Structure 1
C-alpha cells in the first residue's frame, strides 16, 4: 500500500503518502467494471484524479495504488509496484478447472454404451450399487454446498461475485450447477442400475 491511513470520516481518509511524509486526503469508489479515485495533497496544493475502465474486487489494492503512484510522482518520489496476490491469478483457473472436471464426470456415463452399462449393473450387488451412488451423491452435494458458501467466506454472495469478480463468479456458478447435475445424474443412474439388477435376478 502506498499510503498510511490516519483518520477516516464522511467517506474520506486522511493520512500520509508513504515515502514522502506528505499529508494526504483521499477517497475512492467503484462500480462493476469501473474505478475512480481522488487524492488531494494539501501541502503542495495539488490533487490527482484517476479514472479506470476496469475493476476487480480481489485486486482493489492495485487499482488504488495506481492513484497513489501518480501522487508519489507529483511529490518527487518513484511509484511503487504492487505485487499481484497469487490467489487472484489461481482462483479463476481453479474454478474453470473444477467446472471442466465436473463436466467430464457428468458426460462420462453418456459416453458408455447402454448394453455395457446393463451388463455391469447386473454383475454388481444391490449393496454395492447403493453405497457407490450414496457416496457419489453425497460428495457432489457437499461440493455444491461448499461452492455456494465460498462467496460468503469472502464477504459477499454469489450474485455479488458475478458483479465484482466475474471470472471467478461464472466459474463458481458453472461448477455449482454441474455439481447439482452430477448428483441428480448419479441418483437416476443408481435407480436404473437397481432396476436392471432386479430384472437380472433369478
Structure 2
C-alpha cells in the first residue's frame, strides 16, 4: 500500500461514514415531517444527537402565537420531567448529599405516614423512582394538574399525601403515578433546603448547560407560547394553567436544545456515575408493555433487538419524547405543540419512526387514529342534535296522561346520569379530567345531557298545558256533531280531529 493510499483511505472512510449519517438524518427528517402532516401538528422541533456530541436541530411550523418555531422556542415536556427529576436524585446521591436510594421516604419527610389496608407501612426512594411504591394515581385536579404559582407548591401539595392509602405492597408491582415524582420533588427540597426549581437549576440544569428551562409560573407566563388541544379533530390554541407543584413530574419545560443537552448528558455519562446511570438505564421492574428503570422506560426499537431507553410526556397542549439508543451513542428529541389523549400514540409515531431509521430498521406501521373515540363522540353529538330538533319542533298537542310526564322524565334523568356519572366512572375518570384532557368528550356529554333535559321539559310543559282536556268520542264522521241531553236543553260538544287520542 502506498503512502498516499494509507493517508487517503481513512479520510475516505470517515467521509463515507459522514455521508451515510447525513443521508440517514435526511431520511429521519422526511419521515418525521410526513408524520407531522398526518396529525396536522401546528409546530414541532426535532433534535438528532450522534456520536461525539454531533447535534442537528430541525424545526417545523409555528407556535401558538403564529410565530415560526425555532431551536429556542419553549415547549412543556410533560412526563419527560420524570427522567429529569430522577437524574437530579441520582446526582444528589452521587455527590454525597444526605440521600440514598434505599432511604425510607419518612426519613426525609417526617410527616409522611402511608398505610396499606389500614396498617402503617414504609416506602423507599428507589420505589418512588421505579413506580413500585404502590401509590394511587389521583385524577387531574385533585392532587396533580392544579394551577399553583406559590414558591412552596411542591412540598405543600405533597403534604396532601401525608396519610395516603397504598393500593399494593411497596416494591411488589409497577403502578405508574405522577405523585411518586411529586414526593421525590419534596425530598429534593428537604435534602437541599431549596425550592425544587432552584435545586434543579443549581444541581443539574446549569452544570449540564440547560440554561433556558421553565421551572415556575412566572417564567411560563413570560416565555411559553400557547400549545394546542385537539377539539373535534382541530388543533385549537390553549394556554396551560401552569402548576409549580408539577415541575418534578410534568410541568418542566424548555427548548428542544435544552432537552437535547439532557439526552446527550445521559449518553456521555455527565449526569452521574457510570454505575448509577447503568442502573437507571436498566430494567428495575416490569411495566406496561416493557420495563422501567430510574425514570426511564426500557425497551427495544420496534421489530428489532436494539435497546431503547426512552420517555414520553404530555400536558394539555404539548407532547414530547426523548429516545436514547445507547449501543450507537445516538439519541433523538421531538417536541410538539399539540396533544389529544386519544391521539397520543399517533403523535408518538413520528419519534418511533425516527428511532427505527437511526437504528437501521424499517419504520413500524405505527398507530392509526382511534376511531372508536371518534364514533362515540360523533354518536353523542348526533343524539344531542336529535334531542334539540325534537325540542324545537315540540310534541303534538294531546290530552294529559301521567305517562306523558314519566317517560320524558325517565329518559332525561337516565341520559344525564349516564353522561355525567356512569360513563366517566366506567372509564375511571372525572368530569374535570375530561374537561382538561378531552374537551370535546366533556362538551359532548354536557350537550347530550342538556339537550335531553330541554327535550323533556318541553314535552312535559306541553302536556301540562292540556291537562284539562279529556278524550271524547265522535260520531265517526270526522265532522262537528252534537249530543243532545234531555228535551228542554241541549249541550253541544265540538269534536275535531285534533281532539282525538
TM-score by length of 2: 0.34
Deviation at 1:107, TM superposition (A): 1.4
Structure 2 residue corresponding to 1:189, chosen from 434, 440, 462: 462
Contact 1:24 1:41 in 2 (8 A): yes
**Structure 1 residue aligned with 2:320:** 36
Contact 2:297 2:309 in 1 (8 A): yes
**Structure 1 residue aligned with 2:418:** 146
**Structure 2 residue aligned with 1:170:** 443
Distance 1:161 1:94 in 2: 17
Greater helix share, structure number? 1
Distance 1:54 1:152 in 2: 27
Deviation at 1:138, TM superposition (A): 0.4
Contact 2:301 2:359 in 1 (8 A): no
- 3-state SS of the aligned residue for 1:48? strand
Structure 2 residue corresponding to 1:101, chosen from 360, 370, 386: 386
Specify the structure having the higher radius of gyration (Cα). 2
5+ residue gaps, structure 1, are none
Contact 2:342 2:373 in 1 (8 A): yes
- 3-state SS of the aligned residue for 2:327? coil
Contact 1:130 1:190 in 2 (8 A): no
Deviation at 1:37, TM superposition (A): 0.9
Contact 2:319 2:336 in 1 (8 A): yes
5+ residue gaps, structure 2, are 1-287, 473-492, 494-501
Contact 2:404 2:460 in 1 (8 A): no
58-67 vs 36-45, which deviates more? 58-67
Contact 2:303 2:364 in 1 (8 A): no
Are 1:77 and 2:361 matched, yes or no? yes
Cα deviation, 1:131-189, whole Å, max 9, x if unaligned, reads: 13211210121111111122332221222222222222212221112122223333333
Cα deviation, 1:88-145, whole Å, max 9, x if unaligned, reads: 3312321221221111122122xx7xxxx6xx43xx3x5xx21132112101211111
**Once superposed, what is the RMSD of the aligned Cα atoms?**
2.4
Distance 1:87 1:145 in 2: 22
- 3-state SS of the aligned residue for 1:76? coil
**Structure 1 residue aligned with 2:345:** 61
Are 1:132 and 2:404 matched, yes or no? yes
Cα deviation, 1:36-86, whole Å, max 9, x if unaligned, reads: 111111111111111112211122221223211111111112222323232
Distance 1:152 1:58, change over 3 A: farther
- 3-state SS of the aligned residue for 1:40? strand
Contact 1:162 1:169 in 2 (8 A): yes
- 3-state SS of the aligned residue for 1:197? coil
Contact 1:27 1:39 in 2 (8 A): yes
Distance 2:317 2:379 in 1: 22
Deviation at 1:197, TM superposition (A): 2.2
Contact 1:26 1:37 in 2 (8 A): yes
- 3-state SS of the aligned residue for 1:156? coil
Distance 2:302 2:403 in 1: 61
Distance 1:153 1:59, change over 3 A: farther
Contact 2:334 2:351 in 1 (8 A): yes
Distance 1:48 1:147 in 2: 42
176-185 vs 46-55, which deviates more? 176-185
- 3-state SS of the aligned residue for 1:92? helix
81-90 vs 32-41, which deviates more? 81-90
- 3-state SS of the aligned residue for 1:43? helix
Greater strand share, structure number? 1
